[in-house]
Amino acid sequence: MEIWINPDCSKCRSALSVLDAEKAEYTVRRYLEDPPDEREIREVLTRLGLEPWDITRTGESAAVELGLADWPRTPESRDRWIRALAAHPILIQRPIITADDGPAVVARTEEAVRSLLPPR
């Protein structure tokens, strides 16, 4: 599995702690240093079953500067949102874990992290 993190984020550090405690095999992607492109964002959204506005950190200063609060949340505006996430990766909710077998979660809780781990 792969986990997209910001090392300064407490939720990311918590998710890593759960993965380590469970001896899970994973790859860390510091998505601010190695940002996903539009194709990768689309793929993750499909795996999450979410829309781009669902994983957007609207409280970030970049979101305010872009005026995201006023952007429509419609199928027609989807590409615009994805372009914004690719151009400003700080706007992507974190951490996101993608499992090798397909599923993905926004892993902000221990339960979400554990949902991708094999049962004990």
pLDDT in tens, 63-113: 999 999 999 999 999 999 999 999 999 999 999 999 988 899 999 999 999
Q: Average per-residue pLDDT in the chain?
A: 95
pTM for this model (two decimals): 0.92
63 neighbors 69 (Cβ within 8 angstroms): yes
The residue from 7, 9, 74, 83 that is catalytic is: 9
Q: Encode burial over 59-92: b for 16+ CB neighbours within 10 A, e otherwise.
A: eeeebeebebeebeeeeeebeebbebbbebbebb
pLDDT in tens, 21-44: 999 999 999 999 999 999 999 999
Q: What is the pLDDT of residue 102?
A: 84
- In the residue annotation, 9 being an active-site residue is answered as yes
